[in-house]
Structure 1
Amino acid sequence: MTIDRPPYEEAPALKRFPMHVRHGFFGRRGGVSHGVYKSLNCGPGSGDEPEKVLENRRRVAHAMGAPLEKLASPRQIHSAKAVITDKAFEPNERPECDALVTKRPGLLLGVLAADCAPIVLCDPHNGVIAAIHAGWRGAVGGVIESAVEAMLVLGADPGKTAAGVGPCLSQASFEVGPDLADAVLDATPWAETLFEPGQGDRQFFDLKRYCLGRLARLGVAHMDALEDDTLTQSDVYFSHRASVKAGDRDCGRNMTAIMLTA
């Protein structure tokens, strides 16, 4: 890692196509922010200093081989909405959605997370990529399906598509109440095996396997999930739950980025 090139993780399923796509799951290291935002906070909606967030986003773009002006990221709202784009957005024109899809080489798609699941997809044969922010609400609501459907519009083939689920809460860290469990099971009864009993009426939910399950049901051929847990590795990744436990007023956001190179 150099001073302006922060470290990142990659999904094995997408690393097989280095001539077609670059991607990275970035954590909290390698930036310029301080305090609870130390140090690679990429969330413009946080309480961090805007110029530091901008520099952190520039460093992410640089690490992916793109200028900051080519970074397209949405205003995330925990929705099921996906947007197709062929350009980056002005700060006050970012679309409200939780997935971006493109077939424009050199356009860097970026989504933010701090316990939710970031997902990248690539069909290298047809030149289509997507970046998804999948919290449990978005995942249950269909954001993964929306992104894949948008990829199909651009000519992608699920059977030739690779997907990677990035750092998020592991099952052991994602304790949920009955309302969340009921919402998941009402929408997807097959997910019953993704819950483990906790204290009282609490359960532990496997968000990573849930996302993989929805991808598999869409016919996505190659997929994997990183084992990284944002809560237990809060020294490496920003984690909303870790910040709440620590009594912090806010937390930073991890960026996940993906770009077609050819």
Structure 2
Amino acid sequence: MTAENEAQPAPRAADGPEALEAVALAALSGIRHAFFTRRGGASQGLYAGLNGGLGSSDARPAVDENRRRMAGHFDLPPERLVTLHQVHSADVVVVETPFPTDERPRADAMVSDRPGVILGIATADCGPLLFADGQAGVIGAAHAGWKGAFAGVLEATVARMEKLGAERRRISVALGPTISRNAYEVGPEFVERFVTADSANARFFTPSERGDHARFDLPGFIGARAAAAGVGAFEHLGLCTYADETRFYSYRRATHRNENDYGRLIAAIAITPGNGESRA
């Protein structure tokens, strides 16, 4: 089942970060998640707001404070929030215990069946994917830019979740704020790569104002991969990072403005502590 829904604001403390929720994931008992916006953070300048990117050039104390606020949204200490050194791959790691920020694995997805561990993905136009099988008590998070989506990071995450006891027909997948087709112009070699791999991929491209260029529907491509993978539900929040500067960071928007860096949004999911006993 595939759906596109208007994101629901998560409960927020007066001074806490703003987070959006997917309907399907919010309905699961014992699972918490958040697609954090840039609102409610300590960063300044180009990064103004809730920049969670350890790979950015933002002041580290501000990033640490932002991550503390995000973990606090889950009622957990900041060391429980784990993120990756993302490399646009389809590589998935299993997280049993939190790892230090300076020992982040080079990968683009994580899965876990351990309560109290927050799996976080950093994005700024790429697709943030959160996964959960509430019955099995297994969660996942993946960074799906075009390279990762094309290489199969979604399918690899589902397969690794199955090894922990999940069943794909029960897995709900939510795609958070992502660059939209209208804002994503690509060249002819990009189109050729996708259409050569599968002629059906032509449906994700529409002509742009520049004759040999096209606009790419990354959310649509990710949704099609989810449907083909046979997951129980796929939900797209339908929000464009490029178009909404007040809520989202955007790599492409920063590039078009010749800015030298950009903030990173964090999408996160966790099994609530105390829920481990109820797992099937």
TM-score interval (norm. to shorter): over 0.9
* Mapped partners of 1:250, 1:16: distance in 2: 36
* Mapped partners of 1:186, 1:126: distance in 2: 38
Residue of structure 2 in register with 1:48 after alignment: 58
Residue 151 in structure 1 maps to residue 153 in structure 2? no
Residue of structure 2 in register with 1:16 after alignment: 27
User: How much does 1:36 deviate?
Assistant: 0.2
Residue of structure 1 in register with 2:181 after alignment: 171
Residue of structure 1 in register with 2:228 after alignment: 217
Summarize deviations over 1:94-148 as a string: whole Å, max 9, x none: 1000001001111100000000000001000111110010000111011111111
Q: Partner letter of residue 234 of structure 1?
A: E
* Mapped partners of 1:184, 1:231: distance in 2: 23
Residue 33 in structure 1 maps to residue 43 in structure 2? yes
What are the equivalent positions in structure 2 for 1:88-127 lying under 5 Å apart?
Answer: 88-127=98-137
* Alignment RMSD: 1.2
Residue 76 in structure 1 maps to residue 86 in structure 2? yes
Q: Partner of 2:203: helix, strand, or coil? A: helix
* Mapped partners of 2:199, 2:31: distance in 1: 35
* Mapped partners of 2:145, 2:198: distance in 1: 15
Q: Partner letter of residue 65 of structure 1?
A: D
* Mapped partners of 2:14, 2:110: distance in 1: 29
Residue of structure 1 in register with 2:6 after alignment: none
Q: Quick check: 1:43–1:253 contact (8 Å CA) kept in 2?
A: yes
Q: Partner of 1:164: helix, strand, or coil? A: strand
* Mapped partners of 1:197, 1:112: distance in 2: 30
Q: Partner letter of residue 138 of structure 1?
A: G
Between the two proteins, the alignment pairs up a number of residues equal to 261
Residue of structure 1 in register with 2:214 after alignment: 203
Runs of 4+ in 1 over 3 A off after TM superposition: 1-4
* Mapped partners of 1:182, 1:202: distance in 2: 11
* Mapped partners of 1:4, 1:258: distance in 2: 21
Summarize deviations over 1:49-79 as a string: whole Å, max 9, x none: 1111011011111112221111111110111
| CA separation of 1:188 and 1:23: change in aligned 2, threshold 3 A | farther
Q: Quick check: 2:79–2:100 contact (8 Å CA) kept in 1?
A: no
TM-score normalised by the chain length of structure 2: 0.90
Residue of structure 2 in register with 1:189 after alignment: 199
User: How much does 1:218 deviate?
Assistant: 1.0
In structure 2, the gaps of 5 or more residues are: 1-11, 276-280
User: How much does 1:2 deviate?
Assistant: 3.8
User: How much does 1:3 deviate?
Assistant: 5.6
Q: Partner letter of residue 116 of structure 2?
A: G
Q: Quick check: 1:83–1:99 contact (8 Å CA) kept in 2?
A: yes
TM-score normalised by the chain length of structure 1: 0.96
Q: Quick check: 1:73–1:88 contact (8 Å CA) kept in 2?
A: no
Summarize deviations over 1:162-193 as a string: whole Å, max 9, x none: 01000010111111111222222233433221
Q: Partner of 2:243: helix, strand, or coil? A: coil
In structure 1, the gaps of 5 or more residues are: none
User: How much does 1:4 deviate?
Assistant: 4.3
* Mapped partners of 1:65, 1:186: distance in 2: 47
User: How much does 1:256 deviate?
Assistant: 0.3
Q: Partner letter of residue 229 of structure 1?
A: C
Residue of structure 2 in register with 1:162 after alignment: 172
Q: Quick check: 2:51–2:264 contact (8 Å CA) kept in 1?
A: yes
* Mapped partners of 1:139, 1:187: distance in 2: 13
User: How much does 1:10 deviate?
Assistant: 0.9
For residue 243 of structure 1, the aligned residue among 244, 250, 254 is 254
* Mapped partners of 1:16, 1:195: distance in 2: 34
Q: Quick check: 1:121–1:129 contact (8 Å CA) kept in 2?
A: yes
